[in-house]
Structure 1
Amino acid sequence: MESTAVAESADIGADSPSSTPFILSRPHGTVVAVGTRAQYDSTLAAAEALRDGRATAIVGALPFDPEHPSALVTPQSLKHESGSWNGEYRELPRIRIGPAAPTEAEHVARVEAALRELHSPDNTLEKVVLARSLTLHADERLHPHALLARLVAHDQGGNGFSVALGAAGDAWSGKHLVGSSPEVLIRRRGDAVSCHPLAGSAPRRSDPESDRRTGEGLAASEKNLREHALVVDALRASLAPLCTELDIPDSPSLTRTPHLWHLGTPVSGRLRDRSVTALDLAVAVHPTPAVCGTPTDAARRLIAELEGDRGFYAGAVGWTDSDGDGEWMVGIRCAEIDARGTTIVAHAGGGIVAASDPHDELAETTTKLGTILAGLGVEP
């Protein structure tokens, strides 16, 4: 669906989430969308509007399931700023931790169910990513930009995003997705295409020597190397038809965030056809095995069976301009803030392969939830 948006009211401040429907902070620059000209719940409609010139830019979020509504808008203007976002670091309301869904025991049971599937004689599934969520409650309204400022400040690369989700339909009206993703789904500059998939992780340690050994152990882990290779192979298959050349290292390197070590592989290439936009590329590669599994269809079916609808968690957030350039991040290390600003639902997942241990996988989700919890100033 495409719909024309009503112009923003004059009394809405520049810092209002409704007047700033999209912010993406990256170490090399920040993109801020101001106002809304049109909105789209169909990625196809947004891509067509961009291609035929009706849309000067597209910003927003793609859902985990490509068949579900997107939250995409054409802004009144798209501003590019140097460096990471420098938002106001304001006081947060008191945050209380609520229930997890599923419970820790239920998540372990889901991982065990996935392992039975992976080990079954007629199985074709190689990997599936299973996630859980944690609900938090704010005593007063939590401003999305307040959480964004803290996430950007806590991230060594200044990564962070805030996306209004109302374009996806009435059920999403007033809601925001806020996070600090370290993973580039796709980036396009002219005919240059790049991405940096992350798969395989281990928790950081406070002791430097122990932390170093943990990173080295991850780099040598057969289980994690296999999990990472599945992601890289899928991206190669998706990008090869669209690129004249692809540069993919033979082995991953270590990437670190404040909470996790990751295996990462920088991928770069050259577009065959300059009419293919960053949004087109995002659609072509999403969802990768890093957030879904492989084969994709089999993994999506099992996720739907075990988890239900993920909404915009493990989707993609980003922007594309009239030249087709843009950047889309994987929608992880994030939380959904409800329309009242008092309920926050954070998500975290982990890739399950045949060699996975259910309790290790549970611990990984707890570590990943630490990004949002640290931003909110609460302990897990």
Structure 2
Amino acid sequence: MLFHLSRPSRTVRATRAERAFDRASDAAAAATSGSPVVGALSFAPGSPDALYVPGDLALHEPVSTAAAPIAPVRLVRSVPSPADHRRRVAAVVDRIAAGEADKVVVARAIDLVADGELDVEDLVRCFTAGSPEGNAFAVDLSAAGGRQLGAALVGSSPESLVRKVGDRVLCRPYAGSAPRSSDPEVDRRNGQALVDSGKDHREHRYVVDHIAAALAPITRDLQVPDEPVLIGTGEMWHLASPIEGVLVENDVSALDLALLLHPTPAICGTPTEAARTIIDEVEGPRGFYAGAVGWCDAAGDGEWMVSIRCVEVAADRRSLRAWSGGGIVVDSDPAAELAETTAKFATVLRALGAPGVLADESVVRSGDISPVS
């Protein structure tokens, strides 16, 4: 499989590539010339991307998918340890208080290993089955070269970075999160607490303002909500804001729009460069986590999703790395931020059939961010 993106309205697939690009600018030029493009954008500028002109891009009706049996997985290490992540968050809070940034998204990772080889098609079915909206994606990362040769990024992102339909541009950023609960009353209280949270509303507004400022020069009739709405996924409550506008000139592709908006404060922070510098110092390279995955057709229409709730599957199809992050602002609590990352891992772990794998997280090995071996 080269590319897969399932959404509530359609499923987009490609199985073979006519051209491959490790730089988004080259892929964007191909899209401008009328070629369809699929693939993944990395988080950091200058990092290799994995983009393709597909030879067989196909759009299908949504398909109801049952989870497939896969080999059991187990936790190898937390990167860094939970205690070190709390210390990292506290250090970032201090830097924000000192005026270095307003918001920084700090992530941590977990490495897992499967008892047998995993099939990407089976993983896509598992992620699709676990998503209330049927969301799932998979991208062959080979175009990026290096350790990504033969690797794949697979996940189920709830967040659309941008969608283009004709001259219409639609975004639905998420920022501000709270865990869901199987207890209806606790679940209701968690959602209401998020709606009432001044900290989460400030975090969310950074994202909305970033998108509105980027779209304002190229759109008319830009509709930006004053307040977010509460959106529930299987594992999390989120604050979300539907943003919509009409392009002044319809000569940009969905990929152009994704490059204009990426990275938003929802997965990086603000100001962008200051936040990205701090992320690089405290985390190291993210690769494709917190990038974007998506497609555009020959007319430039398409959709790009924020690449969260995902796992990189190494070429051996047994080694995996998953990530989870949270937006840090001046009044963030390190313990609460750690709990948020643990809750966000649930999408990946449920799809892998290992919802309880973090129960013994505190006693597994920890280490610095490093490539999946």
Report the counterpart of residue 16 of structure 1 in structure 2: none
Structure 1 runs not aligned, ≥5 long: 1-19
Q: Deviations over 1:338-369 (max 9, x none)?
A: 00100010100000001100000000000000
Report the counterpart of residue 14 of structure 1 in structure 2: none
Compared with structure 1, are the counterparts of its residues 370 and 329 closer, same or farther at alpha carbon in structure 2 (3 Å cutoff)?
Answer: same
Question: Which amino acid is 1:155 matched to?
Answer: S
Q: Offset of 1:249 from its aligned partner?
A: 1.0
* Preserved contact between residue 86 and residue 149 of structure 1 (Cα < 8 Å): no
Report the counterpart of residue 146 of structure 1 in structure 2: 122
Q: Offset of 1:90 from its aligned partner?
A: 2.6
Report the counterpart of residue 46 of structure 2 in structure 1: 67
- Counterpart CA distance in 2 for 1:82 and 1:247 is 29
Question: Which amino acid is 2:288 matched to?
Answer: F
TM-score, normalisation: structure 1: 0.92
Structure 2 runs not aligned, ≥5 long: 359-373
* Preserved contact between residue 88 and residue 146 of structure 1 (Cα < 8 Å): no
Secondary structure in 2 matching 1:329: strand
Of 81, 95, 119 in structure 2, the residue corresponding to residue 103 of structure 1 is 81
Question: Which amino acid is 2:3 matched to?
Answer: F
Aligned residues: 356
Matches within 5 A, 1:225-240: 225-240=201-216
Among the aligned pairs, what percent are the same residue?
48
- Counterpart CA distance in 2 for 1:88 and 1:184 is 24
- Counterpart CA distance in 2 for 1:215 and 1:50 is 41
Question: Which amino acid is 1:52 matched to?
Answer: S
Q: Deviations over 1:60-83 (max 9, x none)?
A: 000001221110011111110112
Question: Which amino acid is 1:227 matched to?
Answer: E
Report the counterpart of residue 364 of structure 2 in structure 1: none
Matches within 5 A, 1:167-316: 167-316=143-292
Question: Which amino acid is 1:38 matched to?
Answer: R
Moved over 4 A (4+): 85-88
- Counterpart CA distance in 2 for 1:264 and 1:132 is 23
- Counterpart CA distance in 2 for 1:307 and 1:203 is 24
Q: Offset of 1:171 from its aligned partner?
A: 2.4
Secondary structure in 1 matching 2:211: helix
- Alignment of 1:44 with 2:20, yes or no, is no
Of 336, 341, 345 in structure 2, the residue corresponding to residue 365 of structure 1 is 341
Report the counterpart of residue 131 of structure 2 in structure 1: 155
Report the counterpart of residue 318 of structure 1 in structure 2: 294
Question: Which amino acid is 2:83 matched to?
Answer: A
Q: Offset of 1:89 from its aligned partner?
A: 3.7
- Counterpart CA distance in 2 for 1:87 and 1:202 is 27
Report the counterpart of residue 12 of structure 1 in structure 2: none
Q: Deviations over 1:231-271 (max 9, x none)?
A: 10111111111112210111000001111000000000001
Q: Deviations over 1:266-315 (max 9, x none)?
A: 00000111111100000000000000000000000000000000000000
Compared with structure 1, are the counterparts of its residues 88 and 77 closer, same or farther at alpha carbon in structure 2 (3 Å cutoff)?
Answer: farther
CA-based RMSD of the aligned residues comes to: 1.0
Q: Offset of 1:33 from its aligned partner?
A: 0.9
Report the counterpart of residue 323 of structure 2 in structure 1: 347
Q: Greater relative contact order (Cα 8 A, min sep 6): structure 1 or 2?
A: 2
